[in-house]
Amino acid sequence: MLRIRAGSVHPVTAPPIEDGAVLVDDRGTIAAVGPNPVVPTPPGARALEFPRARLLPGLVNTHTHLELTHLTGKNTEREFAGWIRGLRALKDATSPDEFSRSAEQGVRDAWAAGVTCVADTGSTGAALEALARLGGRGICYQEVFGPDPAQCAASMVELRRALDRLGPLASSSLSLGVSPHAPYTVSEPLYRAVADLARGEGWPVALHLAESHAETELVREGRGPFADALRARGIPVTARHCSPVRYLLQLGVLASGNCLAIHCVQVDGPDIDVLRGAGVALAHCPRSNRAHGHGAAPLAAFRRAGLRVGLGTDSVVSVGDSSLLAEAAAAGLEGEDALRMLTIEGARALGLESEIGSLEGGKQGDLAVFPATAFDRPLPPVTALLTVVAGRVVHG
């Protein structure tokens, strides 16, 4: 058993408690939350005290690429289509062992940032393997690529092979999903095939959507840097005369079940209605969007529409670090509002709100302790003092 006392405890779904405590039982679930004097101290429980710190639910990062952790600062290309090509070259030059070490470092960096659950997309399976090996929580979406319609069958064979290999690593704390990467790397038949597979097998789906101007140009008009690059490879390009969101709706991808759309910067009011109608959740990545010059996603409009939205760091290649607190600041969120978005709203976006995202009896013992100054402005670089996943101390 683990008992943690802190200067303040923030259950998120209930008011903050001054001098509070949380007790996590041997199964890793929360047994008690409350003022310190009323939370029991069972004999043999490990007791930790942080009198000047804040105890929060573990943070939920709704978009990471942990297998790319070793590439921090390695891609200096500024134009987005070129940046994507540069990233592909850097990945091609990475060995399986390097991906494995990189993903493991990514998991540890996430824990150091107080993150206890990640929604990760990657092509190698290294993130799922690292999370399984280290005892982390998350959803890992296996990426599939193939912009040429002629590649569709081969891409599906590769995807099924990866899912067969990774499936046995899934557990109550670790799920597997699929990620048709983005409109400039996935053909129409491949999107349809992945959506069919996800619907049939009940896989959650994550996709990069409506991120760059170049993507919108490609989908709407069949022009721009992505279109030029595809044509240069002999791949046919078709103007869809609609937004990326409507295009994916038409292909059946958005309504494939449990769908998480990442970025959604290039969206208008009707697109937001489409996303809401399809029950799509969003991963909002303000620092990445800014770093690549995509603009700002309309977070306020998403929230007004009642969409489920969590915060995501995206890869360290884009943003340089794993700080989810910095994403909240970049999103213009403060105080309890920021805290909700970092925890229970992120959990809701991933469909995990009955298990994580708040400190409540019976929920998973996923916790993070931060210095009391962690939310001050300007935001200092913040490392968690303690991070706990399912009652196990993983950092601090």
Q: Which is nearer to Zn ion, 261 or 352 (CB)?
A: 261
Nearer to Zn ion, 53 or 139 (CB): 139
- Dihedral over Cα of 73, 75, 79, 81: its sign: negative
- 48, 89 in Cβ contact below 8 A? no
- Sign of torsion over alpha carbons 83, 84, 90, 94: positive
Residue 262: CB minimum distance to Zn ion, A: 6
Question: What is d(CA 270, CA 246) in angstroms, rounded to the nearest whole number?
Answer: 9
C-beta of 315 vs 358, nearer to Zn ion = 315
Rounded Cα distance, 84 and 242, in Å? 23
State both tokens at 329. 């600041």
Burial classification of residue 164, based on how many CB atoms lie within 10 Å of its CB (0-12 exposed, 13-18 middle, 19 or more buried): exposed
Direct distance between the N- and C-terminal alpha carbons of the chain, in angstroms, rounded to an integer: 17
Q: Is 84 or 369 the residue whose CB approaches Zn ion more closely?
A: 84
User: How many residues does this entry show for the chain?
Assistant: 396
Please identify, using beta-carbon distances, which residue of 63 and 348 lies nearer to Zn ion: 63
- Minimum CB separation of residue 211 from Zn ion in Å reads 8
Q: In the bound complex, what is the minimum distance in angstroms from residue 318's beta carbon to Zn ion?
A: 7
Q: How far is the CB of 346 from Zn ion (least distance, A)?
A: 16
Nearer to Zn ion, 66 or 195 (CB): 66
Q: Strand 367-371's sheet: what is its strand order? A: 30-35, 17-24, 2-9, 46-57, 367-371, 386-389, 392-395
CB of 260 to Zn ion, least distance (A): 11
b/e sequence 214-248, b meaning 16+ C-beta within 10 Å = bbbbbbbebebbbbebbeeeebebeebeebbbbbb
Least distance to Zn ion, CB of residue 127, Å: 12
Residues of this chain that bind Zn ion (CB under 5 A): 314
Closer of 331 and 339 to Zn ion (Cβ): 331
Pick 127 or 359: Cβ nearer Zn ion = 127
CA atoms within 13 A on the CB side of 394: 31
The minimum distance between CB 263 and Zn ion, in angstroms, equals 7
Residue nearest to Zn ion (CB): 314
CA distance 20 to 101: 38
**Is the torsion defined by CA of 335, 338, 340, 343 positive or negative?**
negative
**Minimum CB separation from Zn ion for residue 65, in Å?**
6
Q: How far is the CB of 385 from Zn ion (least distance, A)?
A: 29
Q: Which is nearer to Zn ion, 235 or 291 (CB)?
A: 291
With 0-12 CB in 10 A as exposed, 13-18 as middle and 19+ as buried, what is 314? buried
How many Cα neighbours within 13 Å face the side chain of 316?
A: 21
In the complex, what is the shortest distance from the CB of residue 115 to Zn ion, in angstroms, rounded to a whole number?
A: 16
Token readout for 218 is 């490609």
Q: Give the nearer residue to Zn ion in terms of CB position, either 33 or 283.
A: 283
